[in-house]
Amino acid sequence: MRRIYRAKNGVTEVTQFAVSDRARVRTGKDAGSPRKQEANKHQAVHRLARILNNNFQEHDLFLSLTYSESAFRRMRSEVYATLPKGRKEKKEVKRDAVLARAEQDGKDFIKLLRKLGADVSCYVSVPSDMDGDTGKEDRPHVHLIIKGESFALIRRKLTVCGQPLEELWGKGIVFHEFLRKGSYNKIAAYLLRQTRDIPHRRRYACAKGMERVIPEEMEIILGKGDPIPVPAGAQVEARIQTEGAYGMQYVRYIEPDADPLAAWERQKKQERGKKRE
């Protein structure tokens, strides 16, 4: 079986695996095993990456909404005051409640942007309270990937509808970075490294209008373990191939036509080759 995911920004993923005639639906017996949990994390990164690759492009925004020390203390005190008696002493309960408040602050900020007339039809919100590299606890913050058409830089300050974004957030510094052309798989991996495993809680939230990548599936006759072919001129980002003719294969590449500059360079190279002939 070969499964192909084609995102709008030119990032294509191909997964190839053998399916036995005696294949049966898996049960949930190994759902809690470390191996299964690790596989679920990888799948979550792939799902988020496909959402980003299919809905965002160059010049869209990667925002980090942070809390100042005073704003964080004020917010934390308000959250602790709402906790029921008998649960205020539990550190994990308090930490989860503070993160939930940060998540709500992110939602309220998106609503404010919508009221001002900004385009919030596509966004991904990821609340975090940890350092993704070390795993240590960190001050809460909210990562936001959002369309950039409604935003502008005025005197080096990011604004929306003429108002400074940091003043609209009002809780701390707003770091911003414009997305570059290419694959956003590394961004997806970074975002999910910043999240904790909390039962019955999603790691990220998306706008309802986000377009999902619908996979193409086809049955193929497996050869002798030959690697999955990619188009000429494509930029291969990742390739996994297990041993054996029936091993699982995965390849991710950027379509050659997705980069106009690369296409122009290939055309010039072909023209120079013809002249030499």
Q: What is the pLDDT of residue 14?
A: 94
In the chain, which stretches have pLDDT less than 50? 23
Q: Where are the domains of the chain?
A: 59-178
Q: Which amino acid is at 151?
A: F
pLDDT in tens, 173-199: 999 999 998 899 999 999 999 998 888
Q: What share of the chain is helix, strand, coil (3-state, %, to 5)?
A: 35, 25, 40
Q: How far apart are CA 235 and CA 26, in angstroms?
A: 35
Cβ contact 11:259 at 8 Å = no
Q: Quote the tokens at residue 214.
A: 């619908």
pLDDT in tens, 94-124: 999 999 999 999 999 999 999 999 999 999 9
DSSP 123-157: EEEEEEEE-TTT--EEEEEEEEEE--TTEEEETTE
Q: For residue 152, which of 176, 181, 120 has the smallest C-alpha distance? A: 176
